[in-house]
Amino acid sequence: MRLLRSDTDPVRDKFAAARQELSSALIEREDEIDLVLTALVANEHVLLVGPPGSAKSLLLDSVLSWTGGSKFSILLTKFTTVEEVMGPVSLAALKEDKYLRVTAGKLPEAEFAYLDEVFKASSAILNTLLRMLNERAYDAGDGVARTVPLKLCLAASNEWAAPDTGKELAAIADRFLLRKTVAPIRSQAGRQKLLWTRDHAPRLSTTITPAEVGQARLRALTLPWADDAKDALETVLKELAKEGVQPGDRRQFKTVGVVQAFAYLTGADEVRPEHLEVAQHCLWDDPGEQPQAAARVIARVANPTGMRVTQLLLEVEQMLAAADVRDLADAAKAAAKLAEIDRQLAALKGNGRVDKARGYVKEQLKKLKLASIEAV
């Protein structure tokens, strides 16, 4: 996704600046950054799952530092108590034969939250989280459901919940509308930046207030859907059903708002089929094979250009990994392949992703030629 700057929308400008600054520091995390920023506008929650050391916490902590408002962050373990998350029981209330929690500084009073290792929480914590994440409501103990100010909950885990862990973990995973597996760095250029850049912490030049986030959300909700985008979503749902992927009604309904938020951040004045790309992180239930099926169907129906770009970039990485720059014949063959891939990209309908892919291919071609010259 390319976040566009706009002279008429300073709030969107802040998102664009944050996206650029996060992407320049965090290696190969553009998709995850787009996901979190989209969730912030859509007022939905995000779950990132990946191995330790894949910058999940760095990304989520950076976004929380960018937002204003009250925050709550915790690393959950099987020993974490409800009091640590929801607040201690009030001793003063107990003297009056009342059971109430003091929620000051805890999750029920946070506008933004980060729950690390969310699947390791106890049943008592998970059951309380279910209602809070979905209904934005919390009962402090007196039977009165109070509205919580929670706008965005970011969660991380090193692994998906196992199928035999019961309904509790499946239910908590479902409360996160946007979910993604975080892959290790794959490209040669990414590994070089990882190894030889000492500081990967993002430096954000702006901050954003909860009120500004609310403005962005209202503007996103006013974006109309183009007819072909509506048709594309209907086709996607039908094609997913053929593959055995049938997300629940609530998930389908909320996906509409997520796509509008994604379209808003790109600078669009209406939702178009290519904006359905973000729905691949919403329209599935089982984390086994369903995310791949959703990505494949959505790319085929709504964004064939993006699908082709991804395929060509994969060819680039495979070719670079196999090329021996010390062998002039092998290097020349690799350079010819890169040039051919660039020609194929040039033939695609122009958009931000195509332009970025072409820039990357040209950069790799230049590096390949320089390495070959030095090897002579």
| Domain termination site, one of 302, 319, 350 | 302
Same domain, 80 and 227: no
Same domain, 293 and 338: no
pLDDT band at 98 (very low <50, low <70, confident <90, very high): confident
Average pLDDT score over the chain: 90
Same domain, 261 and 341: no
pLDDT of residue 11: 95
Percent residues over pLDDT 90 in the chain: 62
- Higher pLDDT among residues 226 and 360, named by residue: 226
Q: How far is CA 303 from CA 85, 115, 234, in A?
A: 41, 33, 14
d(CA 100, CA 191): 51
Q: Is residue 124 part of a domain?
A: yes
CATH number at residue 245: 1.10.8
Tokens of 121: 């929480």
CATH number at residue 24: 3.40.50.300
User: Is 356 within 8 Å of 23 (Cβ atoms)?
Assistant: no
**Cα R_g (the chain), whole angstroms:** 23
Entry pTM: 0.84
Q: Is residue 1 part of a domain?
A: no
Q: At what angle do helices 249-266 and 10-25 cross, to 10 degrees?
A: 90
* Residue 349: domain span: 306-375
Q: Is residue 206 part of a domain?
A: no
Provide CB contacts within 8 A for 186, sequence distance 6+. 28, 317
> Looking at the predicted structure, is the pLDDT value of residue 82 above 90?
yes
Q: Is residue 26 part of a domain?
A: yes
Q: Where are the alpha helices (DSSP H) in the chain?
A: 10-25, 30-42, 56-66, 82-86, 91-95, 123-135, 167-174, 188-196, 210-221, 227-242, 249-266, 290-302, 304-322, 328-346, 352-375
pLDDT of residue 319: 83
Same domain, 121 and 81: yes
| Domain termination site, one of 302, 327, 347 | 302
Q: Is residue 212 part of a domain?
A: no
Same domain, 109 and 49: yes
Q: pLDDT digit string (tens) for 174-227?
A: 999 999 999 999 888 888 889 998 888 999 999 999 999 999 999 999 999 999
Same domain, 76 and 192: yes
Same domain, 120 and 229: no
Q: pLDDT digit string (tens) for 109-161?
A: 999 999 999 999 999 999 999 999 999 999 887 788 899 999 999 999 999 98
pLDDT of residue 5: 47
pLDDT band at 350 (very low <50, low <70, confident <90, very high): low
As for how many domains the chain has, the answer is 3
> Looking at the predicted structure, is the pLDDT value of residue 291 above 90?
yes
| Domain termination site, one of 302, 326, 350 | 302
Q: Is residue 145 part of a domain?
A: yes
Same domain, 52 and 112: yes
Same domain, 35 and 77: yes
Same domain, 332 and 289: no
Helix (H, G, I), strand (E, B) or coil at 243: coil
Percent residues over pLDDT 70 in the chain: 96
Q: Is residue 211 part of a domain?
A: no
Q: Is residue 4 part of a domain?
A: no
d(CA 317, CA 361): 10
Same domain, 294 and 331: no
User: Is 124 within 8 Å of 15 (Cβ atoms)?
Assistant: no
Same domain, 48 and 181: yes
